[in-house]
Structure 1
């Protein structure tokens, strides 16, 4: 039997499962590797091209909710987006596996698996990997950073470009969804450290009990499940950049430990006394007012002055209206490529509504709404309802109440005419229930 040329990686903490899976898959595929340590697997896929990964949902004793699997899934996708991932789980964790499918996993396999099903699922995944690679060759990769032309965002990126040439610590401020991660990665990619690791740590989601072990590493035997010496995120970033996201959420009693590492540029693994030097660039980010937190004694003043050598303040999307339509087009093209469909049309009135919308979730909200529209819309012309936005959610600034009512009345009349008086279709496009639409028809004395 001729083997399929592909590189398969099986990631599971159970060695018996690894042995059984490898014995089966070696009969069908050219290269099959196994690993019990997700961090080691991340290092492997950073240097090797892997077609398919079989990823277990749980790695530590006592943690059976599958959240670890979702975490490592996201890490793998961030590093190697073209690699297809098949989740392995027990019957009780199917719900978490389905969450993984929504995030982009190609499929999931229940343990114990059917040999035939497993092999066929991997073959389908390999075909998808080959398709993505072919599309990448046909469509040369573009710069994934959308800067924009608004003076406020140009000022931030101009300063970031200057900061990138130095090694100073930078603090990025901005509301949720304004692109703090993208800006931090931009600084790294334009620095002398660009060929070294860029390690992102979401401090807001890091459990207090895991703070030291995750950031600074641990020695074998430091705690019950510490089966081997393990480096932390600071050591993993050695030579490169560590991005400490949501630093404002670090509890006060842990800030001293973080400050010590930043000052000494060295870490001490949990369970050790040996200092390990680290050569890293530190970028931090938060959506909280750290100066106010310092005044309220909730954030250490000495830590604050250590991280804010340069402050970059990202403006919210509502303050850069001129970038909204270009940004919409940018994401439409991205998701059209992702879902292998033509770029849909957006009429002028829809674009004007998107410009007026407040975008409280900023760029992240726009990404989500555009992806939603690309998935759910079956038409070539996108309506405002395809974005999950109704006209009642859009409140133009500095408008008199009667002007607002006039605009709403005109919109309803036009929509009714478009759908030839069909109440259901009109209500759907306007993002209203039928009852709400009837109330407005009565309010504005619109005859249908």
Structure 2
């Protein structure tokens, strides 16, 4: 196992199943299709399958079909074909495979066919955020390619569906970031832990990582507190606006509602950052001068 790879952390039945599958799949060349939401850890699972192989695998190639253009993808295909012809052991990881154009899908099929015919050592792992079956039905994905890619399908659960792993994962990154940054953060407050467990995590593990990185910037060692994570309870903000509609009088224009939402939202951000305008501006991704302007225009007052 590569010492630099992020470990698979957690004790849920889901994580245990993933670890078992990783060990099983690393020992053979069966094609793997990893399905899951954005930021759920599909790439990490792919890398663990690659690096868990007890035999030395020479190369790990990665194609991102969202960011690679046609020429870049074809170059990788050509490099892989050339290297496996010289008995090189290769893992090819294709993420966002649903975005691969049909012309390249045909090239992909041909490469897979040639590899299989010559019994060359190529491990293909693909990942997707959507249903490839629907893509096939819509004529945007070749059924032959799907049948060759989904020998084994791994469904990576969103973080909110294995909540028991949230704190162990967060603590693992806290330890890692502390070592790298030299900042002496040692734990999360109980309020921070509760907030993490209650958060929806639309962006999954990637969002969790970003929240911890933010806490390292705005927080104060040794403890990461709830406000440092930068969570916003959007529902509570919206609910307060809806509850106040009766106070709008005859002015129920969209502008009035938007201004009310802005006021509640900016106030919430300021409260979570102890009314530090610089920190609030960073969270809102606007200039501090604009925060001051909003405070004045919306008549935001510190309670």
2:9 alignment partner in structure 1: 147
Alpha-carbon spacing, 1:367–1:159, altered in 2? closer, same or farther (3 Å)? same
Among 327, 330, 347, the alignment partner of 2:169 is 327
SS at match of 1:424: coil
Aligned 8 A contact 2:36 2:157 in 1: yes
SS at match of 2:66: helix
The answer to whether 1:380 aligns with 2:222 is yes
Per-residue deviation, 1:242: 1.2
Per-residue deviation, 1:193: 4.2
SS at match of 1:343: coil
Deviation per residue, 1:259-283 (Å, 9 max, x gap): 011111189xxxxxxxx99531111
1:332 and 1:360 map into 2 onto residues whose CA distance is 20
Aligned 8 A contact 1:331 1:367 in 2: yes
Deviation per residue, 1:282-332 (Å, 9 max, x gap): 111111210111111110001000011000110010111111111110000
Per-residue deviation, 1:440: 9.9
RMSD: 3.5
The answer to whether 1:300 aligns with 2:151 is no
Aligned counterparts, 1:8-23, within 5 A: none
TM-score normalised by structure 2 residue count: 0.73
The answer to whether 1:363 aligns with 2:205 is yes
The answer to whether 1:167 aligns with 2:18 is no
Among 89, 92, 96, the alignment partner of 1:246 is 96
Residue segments in structure 1 that go unaligned for 5+ positions in a row: 1-78, 80-140, 217-231, 268-275, 396-400, 403-411, 442-447
2:274 and 2:209 map into 1 onto residues whose CA distance is 30
Per-residue deviation, 1:153: 2.8
Aligned 8 A contact 2:34 2:156 in 1: yes
Q: How many residues align?
A: 258
Deviation per residue, 1:222-276 (Å, 9 max, x gap): xxxxxxxxxx244456312111111111012221111011111189xxxxxxxx9
Per-residue deviation, 1:425: 5.7
2:189 and 2:139 map into 1 onto residues whose CA distance is 51
Alpha-carbon spacing, 1:349–1:438, altered in 2? closer, same or farther (3 Å)? farther
Among 281, 288, 306, the alignment partner of 2:130 is 288
Higher relative contact order (CA 8 A, sep 6+): 2
1:338 and 1:435 map into 2 onto residues whose CA distance is 37
2:247 alignment partner in structure 1: none
Structure 1 runs of 4+ aligned residues shifted over 4 Å read: 431-441
1:440 and 1:289 map into 2 onto residues whose CA distance is 48
SS at match of 2:275: helix
Alpha-carbon spacing, 1:342–1:240, altered in 2? closer, same or farther (3 Å)? same
The answer to whether 1:259 aligns with 2:109 is yes
The answer to whether 1:317 aligns with 2:179 is no
Aligned 8 A contact 1:336 1:343 in 2: yes
2:102 and 2:48 map into 1 onto residues whose CA distance is 30
SS at match of 2:112: helix
Give 1 or 2 for the bigger CA radius of gyration.
Answer: 1
SS at match of 1:374: helix
1:51 alignment partner in structure 2: none
Per-residue deviation, 1:379: 4.0
SS at match of 1:204: coil
Deviation per residue, 1:392-431 (Å, 9 max, x gap): 2477xxxxx99xxxxxxxxx9xx99xx9xx97369x79x8
Aligned 8 A contact 1:199 1:236 in 2: no
1:175 and 1:314 map into 2 onto residues whose CA distance is 8
